[in-house]
């Protein structure tokens, strides 16, 4: 049975939608349209789009807007993707310069049609960004690349500040929710990244409200920590349509605070947990808090 969205959450989402009508947000969208660029903010119907666009922030979605997998939680279009856009890297680099961004998150649909899953393109985009914008930090939020170490290495060779890969949900729900993905494979991706370059922070995130229990959430956090993950996000699942997996419940804000406290207590260097938190939400701020905490601990 689908849970009814509470009024307090409707109000939060409504405030973000209203922010999309501001001139700053409209200018941001115009800039993205002009550069023929995709964002996960739009393609995945992120509820924070208004807030982020008003802050001059966005998560670029490279490698097109079509995914080769069919996850039951995701709003991104499914089908046969087009060819890789060779000019995309430079257009993103110029947009980063125009927006004066200092921290950039990149993600992509899963591209199982490509031999390397798009790893080389991730690296090319990051290199283009840093060549035109010295000092800018990049956080690639990668698909699983079928856990191929060589492809993870390709992305790490482009020197990201953080390498992110979302495990999305608890193990008991993973097969039902994540079409073509695998819970243990996702853990292997994160373990591989940490083994290749221990100095690069790793990050993962989960959604809540899919039918998981509190104990399953804690078990997932333990699995992530044991895999060397440094940064964590937890946010409310919001079903994109009636054809997607239903929302089973809406945890209260105080539950997110408890999960964040638990995450920090078991060794995560940083955690962002809240109803509208998404994996790239205020990513630069979370990174800076984690780095500061590490420095203070020395």
CA-to-CA distance for 41 and 57, rounded, in angstroms? 10
Q: At what angle do helices 23-34 and 88-99 cross, to 10 degrees?
A: 160
H/E run at residue 54:
helix 49-54
Cβ–Cβ under 8 Å, residues 107 and 144 = no
- Lowest mean pLDDT across 119-123, 158-162, 263-267, 294-298: 294-298
Cβ–Cβ under 8 Å, residues 40 and 32 = no
Q: How confident is the model over 139-160, as a mean pLDDT?
A: 98
Domain boundaries, the chain: 7-297
Does the domain spanning 7-297 belong to CATH 3.20.20.70? yes
pLDDT band of 4, cuts 50, 70, 90: confident
pLDDT band of 59, cuts 50, 70, 90: confident
The more confident residue out of 93 and 34 is: 93
Kindly report the number of other CB atoms within 10 A of residue 24's CB atom: 13
Cβ–Cβ under 8 Å, residues 78 and 35 = no
The more confident residue out of 197 and 49 is: 197
Q: How confident is the model over 263-282, as a mean pLDDT?
A: 93
Kindly report the number of other CB atoms within 10 A of residue 226's CB atom: 12
CA proximity to 101, closest of 89, 110, 93, 111: 93
Say what the pLDDT of residue 99 is. Answer: 87
Q: How confident is the model over 181-209, as a mean pLDDT?
A: 97
């Amino acid at each position: 049975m689908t849970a009814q969205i509470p009024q307090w959450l409707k109000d939060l989402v409504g405030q973000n939608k209203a922010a999309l009508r501001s001139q700053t947000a409209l200018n941001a969208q115009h800039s993205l349209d002009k550069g023929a660029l995709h964002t996960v903010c739009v393609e995945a119907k992120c509820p924070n789009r208004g807030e982020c666009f008003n802050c001059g922030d966005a998560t670029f979605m490279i490698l097109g807007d079509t995914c080769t997998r069919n996850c039951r939680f995701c709003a991104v279009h499914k089908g046969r993707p087009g060819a890789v856009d060779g000019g995309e890297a430079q257009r993103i680099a110029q947009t980063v310069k125009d927006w004066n961004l200092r921290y950039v998150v990149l993600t992509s649909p899963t591209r199982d049609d490509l031999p390397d899953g798009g790893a080389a393109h991730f690296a090319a985009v990051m290199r283009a960004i840093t060549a035109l914008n010295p000092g800018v930090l990049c956080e690639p939020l990668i698909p699983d690349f079928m856990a191929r170490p060589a492809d993870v290495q390709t992305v790490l060779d482009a020197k990201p500040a953080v390498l992110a890969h979302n495990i999305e949900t608890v193990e008991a729900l993973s097969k039902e929710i994540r079409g073509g993905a695998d819970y243990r494979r996702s853990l292997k991706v994160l373990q591989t990244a940490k083994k290749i370059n221990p100095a690069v922070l790793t990050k993962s995130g989960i959604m809540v409200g899919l039918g998981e229990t509190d104990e399953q959430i804690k078990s997932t956090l333990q699995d992530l920590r044991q895999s060397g993950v440094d940064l964590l996000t937890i946010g409310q699942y919001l079903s994109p349509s009636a054809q997607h997996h239903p929302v089973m419940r809406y945890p209260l804000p105080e539950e997110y605070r408890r999960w964040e406290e638990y995450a920090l207590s078991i060794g995560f260097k940083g955690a962002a947990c809240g109803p509208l938190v998404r994996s790239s939400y205020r990513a630069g701020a979370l990174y800076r808090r984690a780095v500061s905490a590490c420095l203070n601990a020395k």
